[in-house]
Structure 1
Amino acid sequence: MKILILSNYANGLYLFRKEVLQAFTDKGYETVISVPSDENCRKLEDMGFQVIPTEFERRGSNPVHDFKLFVKYTKLLRQQKPDVVLTYTIKPNLYGGLACRIKRVPYLVNITGLGTAVEKQGLLGKALIAFYRVAVKKAACVFFQNEGNQQFMLTHGVGKERSRLLPGSGVNLQEHPYVSYPSEDKGIIFLAVLRMMKDKGIEEYLTAAEQIAGEFQESRFYLVGEYEEESRKTYEPWIQRLSEEGKLKYFGHIDDVPKVMAQSHVIVHPSYHEGLSNVLLEAAACGRPVLASDVPGCRETLQSGLSGLTFPARDTEGLVRAIKTILSYTKSDRQEMGLRGREYVEHVFDRRKVISIYLEEIAKQINK
C-alpha cells in the first residue's frame, strides 16, 4: 500500500501533520512526499519518508508554469503508482487532483483555506472555483477545515459528490501541554505568530502595537514569523522602526514557537481568512487567551467571551478595542480564559481525532 502526499511546503507537513504521516507508517503504508525543495525537507527525511522535490511557484499564476506542474504530477503518478493520493493547498489540490482524475488514481483533497482570490469572487476567483469543480469531481473525499468554507464551496458545486469536515489539523496535546500563566510583573505580552503578508493581518497588528504601546506602558508586543520576499520591502522598515522605538520585539522565523508562546500572556491572530488556525489551537493548548479575527477558521477555535475575544477582520480599531478590553481584565480573568481554552481544545481539537478520520477514509479505498 503506497500513499503519495502532494503539498506546497515541507514545514507545514512537519509541524501540523507529522503525526498523521507517522500513523500511515505505523499501519504499514509506504508514504512518499512531493514538495518544493527547501531546508525543511530534511525533517521529513529524518522521519524516514522519501521526499521528491517538485518545484513550483506557490503564489504565482503563470499558466505556462502551472501547466508544467500538472505534467510533473502526471509523470509522478506514472512513476510512483500510488494506491491513494492526498493533496494539500491550492495548486496541489488543483493540478494534482486533475492529474489523479485523469489517471484514475483514488485521491483525497484537503481544502485548508479558500484564499483571497476565491473569497473576493472576482474573475480570478470564479475561474479558480470552476477549476476546483473539475479537479475534485472524482475525489474520494474533499476535506474542509471549517463549516464556512465547506458551505461556500458546496454552494458553488465544489465537493458536492462527497465532502467531510475535519477539526483542522488538530493539535498534539502532548507536544503542546498546558503551561502555567506567567507573571505580569514586567508587563503584559501580546504575541502574534504569522507570515509578514497583508492577508495575515500584519498591518493591523503593527498599527495596533504602535498605538497601544504608546498609551499603555504595561503592554509589550512580540512578533514571530518570516517575511514573504514580495512584501519584505513594505514591512521590514516598519518592523525595524517599531523595534528601535522599543514598541515591538521581532524574533523572525524560529523553530521553538511554543517557548515564546509560553512567555506571553495573550495571543493575537488578525488573519483575514484561515482553513483552521493552528496558531490559535496551539495558543489555547498552551493555556493562553486569544484575540482573533471573526472569520471562518478562527472563530471556531475559541469560545468568544470565555476563552478569548473576536474582532472584525481588516479592522485596526476593532483590534485596538479588543486589546484594551482584555487589558481591562484582571490577571485572574486572563488566566481563567486560558484554562477554558485548554479545556475546549482537549474536547474538540485533539489531533488523534484527525488521524482517525484520515485512516478511516484511506481504509475505504483499500477495501474497495
Structure 2
Amino acid sequence: MKKAVMLINDTTYAFNLRSAIIEKLISENFEVVVVGQLLKHQDKLKAMGARLIGVETGRHGTNPFSDLQLMNTYKKILKTERPDVVLSYNIKPNVYGGMVCQQLKIPYLPNVTGLGTPVENPGPLQKLTTRLYKVGVAGANCIFFQNSENQAFFENHRMMPKRAKVRLLPGSGVDLDAHPAFEYPEGDTIHFQYTSRILKEKGIDLYLAAAKAVHEKYPNTVFHICGGCDDERYIQILKEAQAAGYIVYHGQQKDMTSFLKQAACIVHPSYYPEGMSNVLLEGAASARPIIATDRAGCRETVEDGVTGFLIPIKDEQALIEALEKFMQMTPQQRKAMGLAGCAKMEREFDRKLVVQAYWEEIQAAMETEKWITKK
C-alpha cells in the first residue's frame, strides 16, 4: 500500500479544507497520515480512514529553537513513516517539512495557502522568512499557489526554485455539495453577514464603523458577526456595539447554514494576507452577493458589479458606499447577483478541480521518484 503524509497546522484545517483530498487518496488505496496539532474533527478524520500524529507547530511563534525542534520532530516522523509522498500546507510545515523531505529524498508538494504577515510585511522578519521559504520549497516536485499575487511575490523575491513546476489552484476550492445554493431571503429586513476570527487585519473595525453608519440611515438592516475572539479589547467593543443596536455578535459557530440562509449579503473587508478566502467561496456558493476587499485572496472570488462589489483596502467610506449601493438595489437584482456568484463557484472553484490537480501531481511525483530510483 502506498502512503501519503500530510503536514498541516491542525486537524480542524485538515478536515474542513483537505478532507476531499484525503478521501481521494484513501479511495486510491493510499494510507494517509495527518501530522499536526490535534484539535477538532479527530474522530471524523479517523472515521475516514486517516491516521493522526499530534505535533504542535507553534504556528505564530518565531522562536528558532522551537522551529529546530519542529524540524527534528518532522524528521523522526518521516524516517519512521517512510511515505511515498508528502503534502504540506501552511508556512512552517512547508518550510521545515520541505527541508526534511529534501534531506530524506521524499517527493513533496507544498501548498502556499497565503503569505502570512511575517512574509508580506517588509522588515527583518520578512527577510528571514523569505530565505527560509526559499530553502523549504527548493526541492519541491510541484508548488501549489492559491492566487497569482502570491506566486508573483515568490518570483519577485527570488524564492522560486529554478525550473520549478507550479500550479495555480482556485484556493482550497468549495465543496458544492456541502454548500448548496439557498433560496434568497424575502422580507423588508436586510441581514448582512461578517464571518471571521475577530482580528483588525480581517477588517472588523471597518465593518463595525460601516454597520453603525448604514444602520442609522437604514434601520431595517441587521449586521451579524460570527467568529471567535480572544482579544478582551474587541470583546468589549462588540458588547458595546451590540448594546447600541447596530450589530449582533454570535461568537464562533460550528454550522453557518442558518446564517447563510438569512443573509442578504456577505461582507468581508479583510486586508489579511490570505491565500483564498473560504468565507467568500462558501458565501458565493450559497448564492449570496459578496462585498469584499480588492486584494489577493478576495478579488478572485468576485466579479465587481456582477457577483458583488470590490472595495479598496482599508477604505471605510468605500465600504459604506458599497453597502448603500446594495441597499438601493431591488430584491430581484440582489438575487440575480447571488445566483451569478453561485455560477462562478460552479465554473471556477469546485473543490473537485483541486482534488484532480493534486492527484495528477501526486502521480507525477511518484513516477519521477521511480525513474530516479531505477537510474
Secondary structure of 1:8's match?
strand
Secondary structure of 1:191's match?
strand
1:208 aligns with 2:214: no
Specify every segment of 5 or more residues in structure 2 that has no aligned partner in the other structure, as ranges: 369-375
The answer (yes or no) to whether the contact 2:145–2:166 under 8 Å persists in 1 is yes
The answer (yes or no) to whether the contact 1:142–1:159 under 8 Å persists in 2 is no
The answer (yes or no) to whether the contact 2:87–2:110 under 8 Å persists in 1 is yes
Q: Distance in 2 between matches of 1:45 and 1:319?
A: 43
TM-score by length of 1: 0.96
Question: For residue 182 of structure 1, what is the aligned residue in structure 2?
Answer: 185
Give 1:11's aligned amino acid: T
1:217 aligns with 2:219: yes
Question: For residue 156 of structure 2, what is the aligned residue in structure 1?
Answer: 155
Partner of residue 198 from structure 1, selected from 192, 200, 206: 200
Greater CA drift, 343-352 or 207-216: 207-216
Shift of 1:120: 1.7
1:168 aligns with 2:177: no
The answer (yes or no) to whether the contact 1:205–1:270 under 8 Å persists in 2 is yes
The answer (yes or no) to whether the contact 2:96–2:136 under 8 Å persists in 1 is yes
| 1:140-196 Cα distance to aligned partner (Å, 9 max, x none) | 1110001111111122222342211011111111211111100132x1111011011
The answer (yes or no) to whether the contact 2:32–2:49 under 8 Å persists in 1 is no
Shift of 1:261: 1.0
The answer (yes or no) to whether the contact 2:147–2:171 under 8 Å persists in 1 is yes
Question: For residue 128 of structure 1, what is the aligned residue in structure 2?
Answer: 129
Q: Distance in 1 between matches of 2:88 and 2:298?
A: 22
Q: Distance in 1 between matches of 2:202 and 2:42?
A: 25
Secondary structure of 2:58's match?
coil
The answer (yes or no) to whether the contact 1:33–1:50 under 8 Å persists in 2 is yes
Question: For residue 339 of structure 2, what is the aligned residue in structure 1?
Answer: 339
After TM superposition, list the pairs within 5 Å mapping 1:1-368 onto structure 2: 1-160=2-161, 161-185=164-188, 187-227=189-229, 229=230, 232-272=231-271, 273-368=273-368
| 1:32-81 Cα distance to aligned partner (Å, 9 max, x none) | 00111223333322322111110132211111111111111111111111
Give 2:179's aligned amino acid: H
Secondary structure of 1:207's match?
helix
Q: Distance in 2 between matches of 1:255 and 1:325?
A: 31
The answer (yes or no) to whether the contact 1:2–1:82 under 8 Å persists in 2 is yes
Question: For residue 373 of structure 2, what is the aligned residue in structure 1?
Answer: none
Q: Distance in 1 between matches of 2:68 and 2:202?
A: 28
Shift of 1:331: 1.2
Specify every segment of 5 or more residues in structure 1 that has no aligned partner in the other structure, as ranges: none
Q: Percent identity?
A: 39
TM-score by length of 2: 0.94
CA RMSD of aligned residues (A): 1.3
Secondary structure of 2:250's match?
strand
| 1:317-357 Cα distance to aligned partner (Å, 9 max, x none) | 22112111111211111111001001111111111111100
Give 1:350's aligned amino acid: D
